[in-house]
Amino acid sequence: MKKAYSNWKDLKNAIESKAKKSLETNAKRMVRQEMNNQIVHQVYNVYEPTMYNRTYSLFKLDNYKHEIRGDIEDSLTISIEHMAMSKDRKNLSKLIILGQVQAKRYHEDIALYNDEWIKMTKFRYAKEGRKYDTAFYHPRDFVSTTEQVLSTDSNRKRMVEELKKGMR
């Protein structure tokens, strides 16, 4: 059964509600899938750690925080933030995205905490005659790469189709 709207405000609110629901489900799922894909390529596949065991915890769904802002007259925006935390509640995502050196410049706790651990690792590696300059120390910006991939024409069309599904 179709619903009739007697004024612009009611129609606007109904459309906005459906659009937000579609962003909440369909679009968010697509963004998370691509971000997880980029985590594999930009973070996990670039090197194999020898100083710790990977937990693959960056894939946890509770690492994602999202917010929907705006209205249909201006624009609706969904922002999705990745917030992986260390055991002692330090933000690992920022460290991974920025890299050790940049994270220290921004005074990220985890980067400052890492300094002592890195010193010990470098000492151990030097003693063993191994190279210690791995991708661990460099930026691996899986968020910007996700944004670039989703900004291509084909992915934008897919995103519009996903949004339309939720509007039906």
H or E element that contains 26: none
Tens of pLDDT, residue by residue over 37-87, are 999 998 889 888 766 778 888 888 788 888 887 777 777 787 888 888 877
Q: Break the chain into its structural domains and give their ranges.
A: 8-167
Strands 75-82 and 64-71: antiparallel
Question: Quick one: tokens of 163?
Answer: 């949004």
Percent residues over pLDDT 90 in the chain: 8
pTM (predicted TM-score) = 0.73
154 with 148: CB under 8 angstroms?
A: no
Q: How far is it, in rounded angstroms, from Cα 63 to Cα 126?
A: 35
CA 16 to mean position of chain CA atoms: 25
